[in-house]
Amino acid sequence: MTAENIPKATAKRLPIYYRYLNILHDTGKERISSTELADAVQVDSATIRRDFSYFGALGKRGYGYDVDNLLNFFKQILNQEHLTNVGLVGVGNLGHALLNFNFHKDGNVRISAAFDSNDSIVNTIQDGVPVYPVSDLANQLKEQQIQVIILTVPSEVAQGVADQAVEGGVRGILNFTPIRISVPDRVLVQNVDLTNELQTLIYFIENFGK
């Protein structure tokens, strides 16, 4: 089965499996069952087995999964050996927090360029990352071959910035703004609505957490 045929829900869980397998590897664990993995990552074992089945026979009945073999497999699937440079557009409070988070310490992603319209930080270095004027977004994305951006700009300018990013050849946008931006089919958008997530959490606490 090709990557295009993997369900999106499964694809979203793969990094979770990969991170926990890294923890198991570091502790010297050699094998794990789907039930043990389910307890650790809070995904039921039937879902885990179904997720893994999309990639063929990754385990053995009665034995479980070899941790190192599974870790190496997901490392290739998730392209963990290749460093991906990401652009951050919008260096406000959330943008600064993301810069400070320092993705490259925790995986194969690194924010290598930031963009903003604030003259006080443009052409400076913030948390080790150069900040360029947002007006130069398209050119810098092309020049630095950045194909993924994180969008943390005000809602009223989000679509315009997304248009510039598309012009610069971006292929993926992690959108932290509350609006749903319009992009060509060739560009993937992952929306992260923190307010919605928090309201959903509160709803479940109020209705199912008692």
Instruction: Determine whether the annotation assigns residue 128 to a binding site.
Output: no
Instruction: Determine whether the annotation assigns residue 93 to a binding site.
Output: yes
Residue 127: left if φ>0, alpha if ψ -120 to 50, beta else—which one? left
Identify the three-state secondary structure at position 125: strand
DSSP H or E run through 23: helix 8-26
Instruction: Determine whether the annotation assigns residue 67 to a binding site.
Output: no
Eight-state DSSP code of residue 60: B
d(CA 138, CA 140): 6
Instruction: Determine whether the annotation assigns residue 28 to a binding site.
Output: no
Parallel/antiparallel/unpaired status of strands 31-32 and 65-66: antiparallel
In 3D, which of 198, 197, 158, 200 has the Cα closest to residue 181? 158
Instruction: Determine whether the annotation assigns residue 157 to a binding site.
Output: no
Residue 26: left if φ>0, alpha if ψ -120 to 50, beta else—which one? alpha
Half-sphere exposure of 161 (CA within 13 A, CB side): 27
Residue 79: left if φ>0, alpha if ψ -120 to 50, beta else—which one? left
Query: Cα separations (Å) of 147 from 63, 191, 209?
Result: 41, 17, 41
Instruction: Determine whether the annotation assigns residue 189 to a binding site.
Output: no
Binding residues for NAD(+): 90-95
Q: Which residues line the annotated binding site? A: 90-95
